[in-house]
Structure 1
Amino acid sequence: MPDQDILNVISLADQLYRDRARSGAVKESVTLLADYGPVQRPYEIEWRLARALFFLGQEAPSAGAGRQLHAAGIGAGKRAVQVNSARVEGRFWLGVNMSLFAEALMDDSFAARLARLVWSARCAIAARRELKRAIQISERYHGAGPLRVLARLLHRMPALLGGSRRQSRELFERALEICPSNCVTIIYAAELALDDGDRNRAKLLLENLIKQPFDDEWEFEQLRDRERARRMLKEFEEYE
């Protein structure tokens, strides 16, 4: 059983993450978790650290800053999996950080992209492996998160590395069966539909996103993705 000290830390870290729409909240949680005492931090600390670093990397002001944060998130995720490989949280947040790290590697100049291609490919393939393991453990975790993130990865990966829009569509459909109101899944699925040339499906998904009831646990993402959906729908109207 966890002692009271760690229970207090993870309770506060979870509250800070729920409050991620507030500037600085997730940074506070990283400091709290990173400062936790033991040299080998417990599983409950490490996976939460990987989650917080994912968020900061996602919101980083530059690709370089994002890469550094996702790299740190990969480290925390790996440590979590080393402590307990049978649970979903560590594998999921490890896979998420790997996916975004691989994507960030391709976000620079052409020469830099060439130099980083091999490392990006390795990260993407490793991310796919971790996300598949997370699906096997619990595909429903974090609003069908393992399905959603693997679908996004397969959408963005080149076919040469195993990317597949067909598999991506199937995974998004499964994720939406499990959690039809998740705004992140909906907007990712809409972006895939656009890349497939299916504007009608994309429009339906975006309109559906805006209509979803508000969920306090996903406040940050709902506010962000509703605004994004409105912009995309406005672009549709201007195009038509």
Structure 2
Amino acid sequence: MSVELQIVVVNVEYRLAPEHQFPTGLNDSYAALQWTAGMASSLRISLQKGFIVGGDSAGANLATVCAMLARDDPFFTGHPVTGQLVRQPSVIHPDACPEKYKSELCSMEEFKDGPLLTRDILMQCRALLKAPPDDPRISPLLFRSHAGVAPAFITYNGRDPLRDDARLWAKVLSEAGVKVKTECYPGVPHGFYYSFPMISLARRVDQDTREGLRWLLAGAH
């Protein structure tokens, strides 16, 4: 994908809970984003051609938060984040969900028993992280405004406890005037393309990701 699209990928080995609790992983990720911007010339990359932050699952949560933080950070004034590649994200801790959104978040109960990812596993991971549920840096849905953040390509799966997180994130961004493009993969669970990479829907995810990146890059100019 990197060769095909002629893009440089910087992968962040952020520190993990429980040894390193919130916000260590986020701070590592954001520091890497700043480092990349500062090292652009040394890396021989042009951020004017596109500067995309992306992630999958927990990484998608980090990506959305990094995009929000970068929006408000003077450090990125000359080289703003131009896109978000967000796959199967978590954007709100269930214990901090505003009342007005609760009716739109049914998938956590509907698919609480999986397959592949269950509600109990999600809650165990969140407990290990020890993040305050109402902190926007773990629940980016709670940022006061989402206007002005980079355009987002968002994908999600039809039988995923986090399905409605992605749907709601797309809705909130769109309502804030952010350009959003989404893709849904019906009937499949969280991370299915890692467990079953050869099925047709998994191959579609791969192709859609490439097209989503092209869409984000085209909007960067």
TM-score normalised per structure 2: 0.32
Larger Rg: 1
Identify the structure with the greater strand proportion: 2
Q: Which has the higher helix share?
A: 1
TM-score under structure 1 length normalisation = 0.31
Instruction: With a CA cutoff of 8 Å and minimum separation of 6, indicate the structure with the bigger relative contact order.
Output: 2
